[in-house]
Amino acid sequence: MNYSDIKYADMINGEGIRVSLFVSGCDHACAGCFNKVSWDENYGKPFTEASEKEIFDYFTKYGHSLRGLSLLGGDPTYPKNIEPLTEFLKRFKEKFPDKDVWIWSGFTWEEIREDEKKARLLSYCDVLVDGRFVENLKDITQKWKGSLNQRVLDVKKTMAAGTAVEYKKRPA
């Protein structure tokens, strides 16, 4: 798996102060995509044990002020990214169980739950921003999503209810 960037102390992509990992690879080809270079799975550099350690060390050092981790792309649910991210999140949640994980996917929750591997990755996440970017539904006033068809979902409540449940902002 390749990634293009790790943003530390990110306050844009999710709630609170976060670490955001931008992985490479996406085959949704949404018209008006803001990050076309990330479609190529070889874009950026390999996500290695050293990259993981860098993130873990940051959480160990600054965890008291961090709310969690965000996974963006590209698409974290792109085939080549699913297994490495699942293993990474498994270790992340073991080490930092009180930190939340947000994930952005071009697939909808309904599509993700039908795919065993994608669903397993999602099981380590707390918030899902789902669906492709649709240019004629673009709305720059929306927080965390680019177009009105996308949803910000509470993963645990959605899984339990078996239907999409919108995420409600948590107190700081």
Residue among 44 and 74 whose Cβ is closer to ligand SF4:
74
CA–CA distances in Å: residue 52 to residues 15, 39, 62, 89: 22, 22, 15, 10
Q: How far is the CB of 170 from ligand SF4 (least distance, A)?
A: 25
**Residues within the interface to ligand SF4 (CB under 6 A):** 26, 28-30, 33, 35, 38, 73-75, 106, 132-133
Q: Which residues of 101-137 are buried (b: 16+ CB within 10 A; e: fewer)?
A: bbbbbbbbbeebeeeeebeebbebbbbbbbbbbeeee
Residue among 34 and 162 whose Cβ is closer to ligand SF4:
34
Q: How far is the CB of 14 from ligand SF4 (least distance, A)?
A: 16
Residue among 40 and 59 whose Cβ is closer to ligand SF4:
40
Contact yes or no for 135/112 (Cβ under 8 A): no
DSSP-derived secondary structure letter, 40? S
Q: How far is the CB of 97 from ligand SF4 (least distance, A)?
A: 29
Q: How far is the CB of 82 from ligand SF4 (least distance, A)?
A: 15
Residue among 33 and 148 whose Cβ is closer to ligand SF4:
33
> Residue 57 is inside which H or E element, if any?
helix 49-62
